[in-house]
Amino acid sequence: MSNQTAVTEFLLLGFSDIQELQILHFVVFLVLYLISLLGNLLIITAIALDHHLHTPMYFFLMNLSIIDLGSISVTIPKSMANSLMNTRSISYSGCIVQAFFFVFFSAANFVLLTIMAYDRYVAICQPLHYEMVMTRRAFVQMASSAWISGILYSALHTGNTFAISFCGGNMVDQFFCEIPQLLKLACSDSYHFEVGFLIFSVCLASSCFVFIIVSYVQIFKAVLRIHSKQGQHKAFSTCLPHLFVISLFICTGTFAYLKPPSSSTSGLNLMVAVLYSVLPPMMNPVIYSMRNKEIKGALSKWIGWRLFTKNKMSIFLLR
C-alpha cells in the first residue's frame, strides 16, 4: 500500500520533445477533435429535430454519436493541453477518471455496435417482423443496456486496475491512461487477476464480433437475393461502413490489449491507440451519415430553416 500511495501522478507518453512538433501535435489533434465534435453534434441535432428520423436505426445512431463525443473528449483535450503547456503529467485521480470513462465509452460503443448489427439483420432478413421486434420499448431497452453494461464493466475493470500497487515507476507508455500500459507498472498479487479479466474481456468481445460476422453473412445472403440493383446498393451502403468500423475498433483494440508488453515500440503503441480511440469517433459521422440521404435531408432542412429565420430577423430589425 505504501508503494501505491506514493504514486501521486503519472507521466504520459508525449508525441515529441521538440516544441515545434508539440505545437504541430496540438494543431492536428485540435482539427481532428473539431471535426469529430462538429460531425457528431450535427447528427444528434438532425435526428433529434426531425421526427421522420425517430426510428430504431437513427435512435441507435444518435446514441453512438453521443458515445463518440464522450470517448474522444476523454483523451484528446488532455493530450492537447499537455502539448500546449509542455508537460506530460496527469494526477492519480485524473488518471482514474480518464481510464474509467474511456473504458466506459469503449464498452458501451461496442455493445451498441453489436445491437446495431442485430437491428440491420432484423430489418433486412426479417422485414415483416421488424416492427413487431423493434418496438419503441425494445429499442430503448437495448440502448439502455449498452450504457448500463458500459458503466458496470468500467467500474469493475477500473476498480481492479487501481486496486493494484504500482511500483514500476509512473511512466505510462501511452498518451492517455490506457489500462494495459498501467498494468506494466503493477507489482501486487492482484495483477494476475486483472490480466485474466482482460483475457476474459477480449474473449467476450470476440464472441460478440463472431455474432456480428454471422449476422452480416446472413444479411449479405439476403441482399444478394434482391433483384433491384438500387436495393442492393442501399443495403450494402448501410452495412459495409458499419462492418468496417467494427473491424477497425476490434482489431486495433484487441492488439492493444493482448500484445505482449515487450513486443511493440512506443511509436507503434501511439499509432494503434490513435486508430482505435481517435479515428472511429471522427469517421463515424462521415461513413454513417454524410452518405445517408435522410440525414443529409434533415440537415439541409435544419440549416435552411436557421438561415431563413436569421434573415427574417435581420429584415425585421432593419425596419
Separation between Cα atoms, residue 23 and residue 27, nearest integer Å: 6
For residue 8, the 8-state DSSP code is: -
Instruction: State yes or no: pLDDT of 188 exceeds 70.
Output: no
User: Which option is the CATH number for 2-289: 3.40.50.300, 1.20.1070.10, 3.10.129.10, 1.20.1440.60?
Assistant: 1.20.1070.10
CA distance 62 to 42: 10
Task: Kindly state the cell numbers that stand for 155.
Answer: 467500474
For 25-44, what is the mean pLDDT?
Answer: 90
Q: Distance between CA atoms of 123 and 133, rounded to whole angstroms? A: 10
Mean pLDDT within 170-187: 84
Statement: residue 304 has pLDDT above 90: no
Locate 214 and state its grid cell: 454471422
Nearest to 146 by CA among 43, 64, 211: 64
Q: Phi first, then psi: what are they for 186, rounded to 5°?
A: -80, 155
CA distance 35 to 157: 30
Given a contact cutoff of 8 angstroms between Cβ atoms, the answer to whether 55 and 138 are in contact is: no
Q: Where are the alpha helices (DSSP H) in 163-190?
A: 179-183
Q: Inform me whether the pLDDT recorded for 148 exceeds 90.
A: yes
Contact criterion met (CB below 8 Å) for 62 and 44: yes
Cell output for 169: 515507476
- What is the DSSP code string of 208-240? HHHHHHHHHHHHHHHHHT---HHHHHHHHHHHH
C-alpha count within 13 angstroms, C-beta hemisphere, residue 153: 24
Q: Which of 23-32, 154-163, 201-210, 251-260 has the lowest mean pLDDT?
A: 251-260
Residue pLDDT, tens place only, 62-96: 999 999 999 999 999 999 998 888 888 999 999 99
pLDDT at 7: 76
Please state the rounded mean pLDDT for residues 10-22.
Answer: 82
Among 7-16, 122-131, 253-262, the range with the most confident prediction by mean pLDDT is 122-131
pLDDT over 70 at 303, yes or no: no
Residue 196 near residue 206 (C-beta atoms within 8 A): no
Considering only residues 90 and 17, tell me which one the structure prediction assigns the higher pLDDT.
Answer: 90
Which runs of consecutive H residues, i.e. helices, occur in the chain? Answer: 2-6, 19-49, 56-84, 92-125, 130-133, 136-162, 179-183, 191-224, 229-258, 266-277, 279-285, 293-318
In this predicted structure, the answer to whether residue 198 has a pLDDT above a threshold of 50 is yes
pLDDT surpassing 50 at residue 45: yes
230 bridge partner residues = none
Residue type (1 letter), 95: C
Q: What is the mean pLDDT of residues 104-131?
A: 89
Report, as an integer, the average pLDDT of 261-265.
57
Coil, strand or helix at 171: strand
Question: What does pLDDT average to over the chain?
Answer: 80
Residue 228 has pLDDT above 80, yes or no: no
The confidence score (pLDDT) of residue 180 equals: 81
pLDDT-based confidence at residue 317 (cuts at 50, 70, 90): very low
* Arithmetic mean of pLDDT, 239-249: 75
- Asked whether the predicted pLDDT for residue 112 surpasses 60, the reply is yes
Domain boundaries, the chain: 2-289
Out of 54-58, 133-137, 168-172, 185-189, which region has the weakest mean confidence (pLDDT)?
A: 185-189
Identify which has the larger pLDDT, 10 or 201: 10
Rounded to two decimals, the pTM is 0.84
C-alpha cell at 19: 516544441
